[in-house]
Amino acid sequence: MKVTVVGAGAVGASCAEYIAIKDFADEIVLVDIKEGFAEGKAMDLMQTASLNGFDSTITGTTGDYTKTANSDVAVITSGIPRKPGMTREELIGINAGIVKTVAENLIAQSPNVIIIVVSNPMDTMTYLAAKATGLPKNRIIGMGGALDSARFKYRLAEALGCPQSDVAGMVIGGHSDTGMVPLIAKATRNSVPVTEFLSAEQQEEIVQATKVGGATLTKLLGTSAWYAPGAAVSELVKAIALDSKKMFPCSALLDGEYGLSDLCIGVPVIIGKNGIEQIVEVALNEDEKAKLTASAEGVKKTNGLLTQ
Ligand code: NAI
């Protein structure tokens, strides 16, 4: 499998590193606009191959998309990240132009590629990439829910005092501080609802901490996070590579599912060799439904900024 990662910054390099360490890809190509940057990151990562024990090759290029030809998967991380106090939506002005051009360049070289969009505001950038490329909807995946769910599980395990591997939980909705919908009523600890262990107050604290998970890190780091985003992307790429039919919440172009259409938003999907192989419609309670509907309105409002 050949994987291209556009943007060799914090998140792009972390994606490449995790994909390499998991050792399921033959070839990883890093692309950046900054002269020599992707080449440098690729060389540094390649010098970890004997240390980390992987056989994937990693190369870098400054904007030569012919090097990305015939990629099976391309990850778009190019663009600016937020600074403390900023919302993801504030990045739209700069990132929309970058994501559109990058998506078009990728498709020109790899007509069969599956695109994973990471750049923020992610749901709107996924929608933009879908519209700009005209790709079938199974081949455009927005990465947000896989990360937000990992952050949810971190918070759940912390409150429960148990290992994260004992916890299952999902965050759907838009990838924004206000749009995320952590499904606390459906979260479990070894199949037992977490609501049996946690007070209503604790549950609300976990939901809030999850929703501002990215902002909390941005405040601490001075820029947005990269390890967990890179790890989350690598799991999506791995599910495609291994055709594993694993379920993740991802931003998908909806056409009536959950009563929503003409937007990309986080919903549970099955990922396999064809990208999004199925959108899973889980039964939501009234509260979850109302929150998802409100979240969709927020995403549509941000999408509206694309035409301005
Ligand atoms: P960064 O600034 O470290 O890296 C971005 C890279 O993109 C830079 O190296 C820059 O030179 C490159 N770039 C800019 N324009 C380009 C172009 N036209 N072609 C190729 N490369 C170009 O930023 P970081 O931290 O890696 O974040 C990247 C994006 O990912 C941001 O928009 C951030 O908000 C988003 N993000 C999304 C997450 C998600 O869950 N969806 C999680 C974390 C970050």
Q: Which of residues 90 and 126 earns the better pLDDT score?
A: 126
With the most atoms of ligand 1 within 8 angstroms of its CB, the residue from 106, 118, 175, 235 to mutate is: 118
| CA-to-CA separations, 78 to 14, 55, 81, in angstroms, rounded | 13, 26, 9
The per-residue pLDDT of the chain, averaged, comes to 97
Distance CA 301, CA 287 (A): 21
Supply angle C-alpha 127, 282, 155, rounded to 5: 80
175 catalytic residue (yes or no): yes
Comparing 31-35, 83-87, 245-249, the range with the smallest average pLDDT is 83-87
With the most atoms of ligand 1 within 8 angstroms of its CB, the residue from 224, 233, 234, 265 to mutate is: 224
Integer-rounded Cα Rg, in Å, for the chain is: 18
With a 6 Å cutoff on the Cβ, whether 98 touches ligand 1 is yes
With a 6 Å cutoff on the Cβ, whether 61 touches ligand 1 is no
In a 13 Å sphere around the CA of 138, the CA atoms on its Cβ side amount to: 11
With a 6 Å cutoff on the Cβ, whether 10 touches ligand 1 is yes
pLDDT exceeds 70 at position 308: no
Compute the distance from residue 198 Cα to the ligand 1 centre, in Å: 37
Closest-CA residue, ligand 1 atom 25, reads 10
181 neighbors 260 (Cβ within 8 angstroms): no
Q: Which residues contact 67 (CB under 8 A, 6 or more apart)?
A: 29, 31, 59, 61
With a 6 Å cutoff on the Cβ, whether 65 touches ligand 1 is no
pLDDT digits (tens, 9 = 90+) for 233-289: 999 999 999 999 999 999 999 999 999 999 999 999 999 999 999 999 999 999 999
Q: Which pLDDT value is given to residue 148? A: 98
Ligand 1 atom closest to 37 (CA): 9
Residue 102 tokens, joined: 């990058």
- Percent of the residues in the chain that have a pLDDT greater than 70, as a whole number: 100
Compute the distance from residue 81 Cα to the ligand 1 centre, in Å: 6
Q: Which pLDDT value is given to residue 307? A: 76
> How much is the average pLDDT of 43-64?
98
> Could you give phi then psi for residue 282, rounded to 5 degrees?
-80, 150
Checking DSSP bridges between strand 246-255 and strand 261-272, what pairing results, if any? antiparallel
With a 6 Å cutoff on the Cβ, whether 120 touches ligand 1 is yes
Q: What is the pTM of this model?
A: 0.98
> How much is the average pLDDT of 141-156?
98
Q: Which pLDDT value is given to residue 39? A: 98
Cα 62 vs. chain centroid, distance in angstroms?
Answer: 24
> How much is the average pLDDT of 53-65?
98
Compute the distance from residue 142 Cα to the ligand 1 centre, in Å: 14
Q: Which pLDDT value is given to residue 89? A: 87
> How much is the average pLDDT of 190-195?
98
The DSSP line for 84-109 is: TT--GGGGHHHHHHHHHHHHHHHHHH
Question: pLDDT band at 82, cuts 50/70/90?
Answer: confident
- Percent of the residues in the chain that have a pLDDT greater than 90, as a whole number: 96
pLDDT exceeds 70 at position 142: yes
120 neighbors 81 (Cβ within 8 angstroms): yes
pLDDT exceeds 80 at position 92: yes
Compute the distance from residue 196 Cα to the ligand 1 centre, in Å: 40
